[in-house]
Amino acid sequence: MQTRSLPGSDLRFSALTFGTMRFASKDPDDHASVSQGKRALSAALDAGINTVHSSYEYGTRWVLDEFLGEHPKRHELQHMIKVASPEYTDGGFSEAQFRETIETALRELHTEHITLVQHLQRGVPKPIIYDSRGDGQRLAQFDSVTEDLLAAFDKLKDEGKVGHLTTFPHTLGFAERAIASGQFEGMVSFFNVVENDLLDHFPRMAEQGMHVFAMRPFLQGMLNSRRAESQELLNDSPFGKPEWAPHLRRLERIRPLVREAGIAWDDLALRFALHPAIVPSVIVSMNREEQVARAVAAIEGPPLDDALVMKIREVSRDIPLAN
C-alpha cells in the first residue's frame, strides 16, 4: 500500500483510509454483519491500510472497540474522527462537548492519541446544512467558533491527545472562507469525479501547506461501474430527487471522457480522488473483504493522466451544484 505524507509533518498515511460508517451493523445481535465487518477491517490492515475514520454518529464505534481491544496492530494505527460543535441546534461552540467527544473516542479506540480531528461547524437546521442558504448564519459565526475551537484543540494537543485539526466545510462557500482564514491545516471534504469544484482551490491550498482527505469517492454509489453508465439513475433512489439533477448533468458530460480513456468507473473513482498531490488519502467505506481487495487493486493501478482530470473539471465547471 502506497503512503503519502501530511505537509509539515513526518506522518505517512495509507492511500486508502478505512471508513466505518457502514462497515458493520449497529445491532450487536446482527452477528453476521459484525463478523463480516471485522473480517473486512482485518483484511484492510493486512493490506497495509494504517488509517481508520470513525465517528460517534455512525453507531459502529462499538465494533471497533471490540476489534481493537486485543488487536496486535492497534498501536500502529492512525485515527481520524469526526467531532461536531456547535451541533444543528446549538447556539455556539462547546469546549466541554468537544473534549468529551475526544475523550470518549480515545477510550473506545484503545489509543492515547487521535491523529486527526475532523471538525464540523453546524449551527443551522439539518435540512440546509449542505445548502448555501445555511452559509449566512454559519459564516457569521465562523470567526467566533474557530477562535474557541482552536483554543480547545490546543489544550488537548498540549496534553498529547490530538495531533492535527481539519474542517469539514459542508459547502463550497464555507470551504472558501476556511481557506482564506488560514486557520486550518486542511480539510476532510467530498471530492470525486462529479463533486470536483475544490480542484480550482488546490493550488492556493498547496501554497498554504494544506491537505485534503477525500470523502465519498463513489458519490453514494453513483460512480461505481454498475451505476455510472446506467440510464436508470433517475429511478434509483436518491438520485431522482431534484437536488441531484446537476450531479447527473455533470455525469452525462463526463461519461464520454471516461469511455474514451477506457478506464473502469470503480478504478476511476478512487484514482481521481487520490490524483492531486494535496490528497494524502481517500476515505472509503468498506464492509466486505472483496471490497477491500478491489479498492487496493484500484489504488495500486497506474495514476490518471493529468489531462483527463482537467478535462473532467472543465466540462463540469459551468454546471453549479445545488450548494
Question: Of 63, 153, 58, 152, which Cα lies nearest the Cα of 110?
Answer: 63
- What average pLDDT does range 242-253 have in this prediction? 93
pLDDT tops 60 at residue 11: yes
Q: What is the pLDDT of residue 323?
A: 56
Instruction: Check if the beta carbon of residue 98 is closer than 8 Å to that of residue 149.
Output: yes
Sign of the CA dihedral running 170, 171, 173, 179:
positive
pLDDT tops 80 at residue 261: yes
Res. 206 pLDDT band, cuts 50 70 90: very high
Residues 6+ apart with CB under 8 A from 278: 202, 205, 206, 210, 211, 212
Neighbours of 165 (CB within 10 A): 20
The pLDDT tens digits of the residues spanning 107-150 come to 999 999 999 999 999 999 999 999 888 899 999 999 999 999 99
- In Å, how far from its chain's centre is CA 307? 25
Res. 27 pLDDT band, cuts 50 70 90: confident
The CATH number of the structural domain formed by 10-221+276-303 is 3.20.20.100
The pLDDT tens digits of the residues spanning 70-100 come to 888 888 899 999 999 999 988 899 999 999 9
How far is it, in rounded angstroms, from Cα 24 to Cα 30? 9
Mean pLDDT rounded to a whole number for the chain: 93
pLDDT tops 80 at residue 322: no
Q: What is the pLDDT of residue 230?
A: 85
- What average pLDDT does range 289-309 have in this prediction? 94
Res. 192 pLDDT band, cuts 50 70 90: very high
Q: What is the pLDDT of residue 89?
A: 84
Res. 30 pLDDT band, cuts 50 70 90: confident
- What average pLDDT does range 41-64 have in this prediction? 93
Q: What is the pLDDT of residue 292?
A: 95
Helix axes 289-299, 31-46, angle to 10 degrees: 30
